[in-house]
Each structure stands twice: as structure tokens, then as C-alpha cells.
Chains A and B, each alone.
Chain A
Amino acid sequence: MRGGAQRHLAVAALGVFFGFSLSRMGFSSFSEVHRMFTLVDLRLIFTFLGAVVVTGAAFAVVTRGISPVHKAIHRGSVLGGVLFGAGWAISGMCPTVVLVLLGEGRVLALATAAGVVLGAVLYYRVLAPRLGWDADSCG
């Protein structure tokens, strides 16, 4: 993909909006995430569901008339999800939220950030070569 200053700037602006929104909707709050996961407060679940449904509808319009080729379920899909979910419940953070918290000035999030980087390195450098799984990353 071409770079271009305009595209870069647009991505930057969008990133700021994304981080701002995540914070203002409470996604970077451990308490709020805990309330979501313990089903005490369904607000964030509806936030997420609403986003998936509407985005899904928009993408369906974009791909209208084209039959999709489904990507295969990864060998690491379930275990990876379990590990991630556990880490998320314990820290209250998903990868993006680590960054949001750093922006909010929560310096302890640096510990989580270090863990995330090391975890990725551990997977790609140590585990994946031994497991021989297809690690198809996003982004």
C-alpha cells in the first residue's frame, strides 16, 4: 500500500479518535471491564454487539453479490482466545487499551506492555516454530 502524508495523517487522526472513544466509553477502566465480564452491567456488551452488527451490515453491503471464501479456523484459535481472555480479565486490558492507559498516564500499564511484547516474541520465536501452526496475524 502506498504511504502518502494524507493517508498517514488520516490514520493518525482516526487513532486519536479511537483511543479517545475507548477511554470515554469506559473500555480502559478495570472496574467497567470487570462489570462487563461479570454481567453486572451489560452496557459494554451492548456497545460491542451493536458495533459488530452495524459494522457487519456495512461490510455486507460492500461485499454484496460476492460469495465469501471463509478463512479456516486456526489451530490456535481456541487456546489463544483462552489465554488472551484470561490476561484481559486479570489486567482489564486488551492490546489497544494498554496504549489508551499509557496515554491516560497509567505508568503501570508499561508492565503489561512489556508482557505483551514478550508474549508475542515468545510465541513467534519459540512456540510457533515448534508447533508448526499457521499464525495468520491481523493488521
Chain B
Amino acid sequence: MLSGYWPWWAGAMALVFVSLVYFRITGRTLGVSGFVWRLVRWRSERAAERADAELSDDEEFMAALMAATADEMGMPQEPIAVPAAEPGSVELRREVPQRVPVGMAFTFLCAVALGGFAAALSTGTAGVHTDMDPLFHELFGTGWTAILVLFGAGLLIGLGTSMAGGCTSGHGLSGCANRQPGSFVTTASFFGTGIVVSFLLGSFL
């Protein structure tokens, strides 16, 4: 069981679980590519978070969470009543959606890597590998050629996901699940291109 890959329904359920639990914990839909740039800008992200730190009590947190939820779901945002400065009074505010704190984003990304390590442990393949999948090397060679190809592909991924505002998780899974038109378009674009390029690559085998 551990040596073979999961059947489609097991993988699907795992992704559903991750999507829903992530939403439950953070109030945001899952999207990984956005974290990359935010982590590059760690210092200014942290500064902005400290400036926002006046949201302190539960009512304001719930208001912000509801607003963030509404924003993520593409729902119209009603003004939300939050405690005002004067005790006992409320004011109506349209809260700016609260992103996942950048520290939490960093934790999540590290955890994903750790998960990969756990998976490798479970299949007895843990350890340092200086090679990639055999098929990759068959297509692109080894040594510096392979490294350059991987770097170049990374450039395309970084550029593309930034330009599109999301990746497989952000657009493909979350965006499509929320029936966002932009996500359908982007998902079709990257899947379609993945198919075309892969067929092209396959013709060289």
C-alpha cells in the first residue's frame, strides 16, 4: 500500500480535507503561490501586521473573519458592526480582509516540506538525492543542463503564478471550487499549456 500511489479518490479526499480545514483555521482559501512574494517582503509584511495589531478582542476578530470570508467567497460585503471607542457603542466598518500572517505562511511552507520528508520516510526513500526523476533526466540530461532547466522552469512558474495571481491550489482548487471566472480561465490556461508542452516534450522521447 505504501509503495503504490494513492487511488484518485483518496487523493481527492485529502485535498478536500486540506482545503476545508485550512479555511476553517484561517478564514482564507488555500493559495500557496501568494506566499512566495509575501515572504520575500517579510519585513514590510511584519510592519503592516504590527500596525494592524489593534484588533484585539473576539468581536473584532469575528468581524474581520467574516469580512475575510465574504471577500474570499466573492460575496458582497455588508458593513459589519464592531465595538467603537466609546464603551457600549458600535460602529459600522467595512473591514479590510485579513491575510494569513506571514509567520504562519512561513510555518505552513516549512510544514509542507516536512510532509514531503515524512512521505519519503514512509516509502523508505528519505535522504539526500542529487538526481531527479529518471524521466526528467531522459528529457533534459544531467549536470548543469538539468540545473539550468530547473531554474528556468522555476522562473516561468514564479512569473506565471505571480502574473495570474495564483497557482494550482489558489486558482485550480480554491478558485474553481468557488466558481470564480478568473480561476476557471487561469486553470484552463495552465492545464492546457501543461498538456501541450508535455506532449511536445514527449515527442522527444
> Which residues from chain A sit less than 8 Å from chain B, CB to CB?
1-3, 7-8, 10-32, 34, 37-39, 42-44, 46-52, 54-56, 58-59, 62-63, 66-74, 76-96, 98-109, 111-124, 127-128, 133, 135-139
Question: Closest residue to A73 on the B side, CB-wise?
Answer: B182
B160 within 8 A of A: yes
B85 within 8 A of A: no
Additional A-B contact list (17), CB under 8 Å, known A15-B109, A81-B186, A115-B155: A20-B116, A20-B118, A31-B135, A55-B173, A58-B177, A77-B186, A92-B132, A100-B116, A105-B128, A107-B130, A108-B146, A114-B154, A115-B151, A137-B38, A138-B32, A138-B34, A139-B170
B164 touches which of A3, A32, A44, A76 (Cβ 8 Å): A76
Q: Nearest Cβ in chain A — how far from B20, in angstroms?
A: 6
Interface residue SS majority, chain A = helix
Assess whether A23 is in contact with B150, with CB atoms less than 8 Å apart. Answer: no
Known: A16-B114, A37-B194, A135-B165. Contact between A115 and B35, CB under 8 A? no
Known: A121-B40, A123-B159. Contact between A91 and B193, CB under 8 A? no
> How big is the B interface, by class?
35 or more
B113 touches which of A67, A103, A115 (Cβ 8 Å): A103
Question: Closest residue to B118 on the A side, CB-wise?
Answer: A20
Known: A94-B167, A107-B129. Contact between A51 and B32, CB under 8 A? no
Give chain B interface residues in 89-119, CB to chain A under 8 Å: 98-101, 103-105, 107-119
Assess whether B164 is in contact with A71, with CB atoms less than 8 Å apart. Answer: no
Q: Nearest Cβ in chain A — how far from B124, in angstroms?
A: 12
Task: Supply 22 A–B pairs (Cβ within 8 Å), ascending by A.
Answer: A2-B55, A20-B115, A42-B8, A48-B172, A50-B16, A51-B19, A51-B173, A52-B176, A55-B174, A68-B75, A84-B189, A87-B160, A90-B140, A90-B197, A100-B112, A103-B118, A105-B127, A106-B132, A116-B36, A124-B162, A138-B174, A139-B170
Assess whether B112 is in contact with A16, with CB atoms less than 8 Å apart. Answer: yes
> Which residues from chain B sit less than 8 Å from chain A, CB to CB?
5-23, 25-29, 31-38, 40, 55, 61, 64-65, 68, 73-76, 98-101, 103-105, 107-120, 122, 125-136, 140, 146-182, 185-195, 197-199, 201-202
Which of A12, A24, A79, A105 counts the most chain B CB atoms within 10 A?
Answer: A24
Assess whether A50 is in contact with B133, with CB atoms less than 8 Å apart. Answer: no
Q: Nearest Cβ in chain B — how far from A50, in angstroms?
A: 3
Which residues of A lie under 8 Å from residue B100 when comparing CB positions?
1, 11, 139
Q: Nearest Cβ in chain B — how far from A106, in angstroms?
A: 5
Give CA–CA (A116, B167) in the complex, Å. 12
Question: Closest residue to B17 on the A side, CB-wise?
Answer: A17
B154 touches which of A54, A85, A111 (Cβ 8 Å): A111
Which of A1, A47, A112 counts the most chain B CB atoms within 10 A?
Answer: A1
Which residues of A lie under 8 Å from residue B26 when comparing CB positions?
1, 7, 11
